[in-house]
Amino acid sequence: MNQEQQQIFESHLRGKESRPLDREFAELFRGDSNEVSLRRRMKEDWDILPNEVGSKDLTPLLHKLHFLINSQSESFSRKSRLKRMLSWYTRVAAVLLLPLFTISAILFFFSHEPSVQTAKVEVVAPMGARVKTELPDGTIVWLNGGSVLSYSASFEQRNVNVCGKAFFDVKSDSLNPFTVKGNKAAVKVFGTRFNVEMWPDEETVEVVLEEGKVELIPDSCEQSFKMVPGELLVFNFNERKLIRQRVNPKRYSAWIDGKLMLRGEDMRELARELSHWFNADVVVKDSTLSEYTFRATFEDERLEDVLRLLKMTSPIDYEILDNMQDSSGNFSKKKVIIRHQ
């Protein structure tokens, strides 16, 4: 973080920030430019806390925040209570950001309108991390690194927006359908477990159904596509083309348990997976490598270990360029260049 960003961080923790700075504070956690310095600062904050804080369950905190947002009859100031809890939560989240890279991180953005109905909840998974959270209806959601889940704080309708990769275990409620909206598509859900990828910079949406029933509804498409368990659907918006395959859905949900599974991915797909998984820019420099496919399972391995093991089974060589800090104090992504041996 640069000096100005550090001042925003300090002001927020001390409760001195103004409304405009609320959003600036939240923006510090977006993307990956501040990842290294934020992790360092949050670890320092964690180290000065009493040991008993580490045993706290953060789920009640989430429910309490939802209650405060929706409550209109409380005489105390919601804003001051939320600030204190978010400040405490930010510190407690630090321990979960360390070895396991699995956190439950909640950032709340409020519009400038005073109405409670306009409030929006945004759950952000920092790059290189995994997030598990519970929605007000009891639905469980996992987010992969760099993904964002958002929904109305009132949650009167079970509609959520996803930007990135998520796994849903949806609470069944036939009277209130659940809808996931994302990049150029929506998924209508009927009480189910499924994986979805809706990255804003990609021209495809991917859904894998583990159990239950879902319906994929691409934007500007006259047709929707119903799925049965064990199916993979990939819709390409440029080509207006659908791919439907029978798959093992556990392979596509293994990431929520910290497992990176490769089952026949080619080099292009491998680079994409490694980029998202390790928050790195993985570039394949040699097109002749596209014919190679990979089968492996990695669990809590470092990027260096994964590349070393891949090199043992395929004719590749690689170069890792570490994060670089610019004049503003921001860090670039780690870069990996893969070449043919």
- Whether 147 is in a domain gets the answer no
What CATH number is attached to the domain comprising 164? Answer: 2.60.120.1440
What SS3 class is residue 3?
helix
Is residue 336 included in any domain, yes or no?
Answer: yes
Helices (H), the chain: 3-13, 19-27, 35-47, 59-70, 78-96, 249-253, 267-278, 303-313
Q: Are 281 and 334 in contact (CB under 8 A)?
A: yes
Q: Which domain holds residue 244?
A: 157-255
Q: State whether 35 and 101 are in the same domain.
A: yes
Residue 145 included in any domain: no
In the chain, beta strands by DSSP E: 102-103, 106-109, 120-124, 130-134, 140-143, 148-152, 158-169, 178-182, 185-189, 193-198, 204-211, 214-218, 225-227, 231-236, 241-246, 259-266, 280-284, 293-299, 316-321, 334-340
Domain boundary among 255, 282, 305: 255
Rounded-to-integer distance, Cα 216 and Cα 235, Å: 9
Confirm whether 128 is domain-assigned.
no
**Residues in the chain where the model's pLDDT stays below 50:** 53-56, 60, 63-64, 66-116
Predicted pLDDT at 14 = 66
Task: Specify whether the CB–CB gap between 122 and 148 falls below 8 A.
Answer: yes
Q: Which of 60, 63, 18, 58 is nearest to 153 (CA)?
A: 63
pLDDT at 246 (0 to 100): 95
The strand pair at 334-340 and 280-284 is best described as parallel
Position 26 scores a pLDDT of: 66
Pair (54, 74) in one structural domain: yes
Rounded-to-integer distance, Cα 82 and Cα 260, Å: 36
Q: Would you say residue 136 lies in a domain?
A: no
CA angle 336, 337, 339 (to 5 degrees): 145
Q: Tell me whether residue 142 is in a domain.
A: no
Check whether residue 217 and residue 280 sit in a common domain.
no
Do 179 and 211 fall into the same domain? Answer: yes
Closest residue by Cα to residue 327 from 5, 2, 27, 29: 2
Are residues 224 and 320 both part of a single domain? no
The Cα 278–Cα 258 span in angstroms is 12
Task: Write down the pLDDT at residue 230.
Answer: 96
**pLDDT value for 94:** 39
Structural domains counted in the chain: 3
Q: Are residues 268 and 220 in the same domain?
A: no
Say if residue 273 is in the same domain as residue 210: no
- Asked if 250 and 264 sit in the same domain, the reply is no
- Which of 255, 281, 315 delimits the end of a domain? 255
Q: For residue range 279-329, list pLDDT tens digits in order.
A: 888 888 888 888 888 888 888 788 888 889 888 888 888 888 887 777 776
Tell me whether residue 197 is in a domain.
yes
Q: Give a yes or no: residue 251 inside a domain.
A: yes
Are 109 and 167 in the same domain?
Answer: no
> What CATH number corresponds to the domain at position 304?
3.55.50.30
Distance (Å, rounded) from C-alpha 104 to C-alpha 158? 21
Please state, as a whole number, how many other Cβ atoms lie within 10 Å of the Cβ of residue 286: 15
Q: Which of 237, 255, 273 is the last residue of a domain?
A: 255
- Same domain, residue pair 263 and 247: no
Backbone angle region of 61, left / alpha / beta, with phi > 0 → left and psi within -120 to 50 → alpha = alpha
CA distance 34 to 1: 6
**Structural contact between residues 256 and 142, judged by C-beta atoms closer than 8 angstroms:** yes
Same domain, 248 and 289: no
Q: Are residues 22 and 99 in the same domain?
A: yes
Handedness of CA 242, 191, 200, 94 (dihedral sign): negative
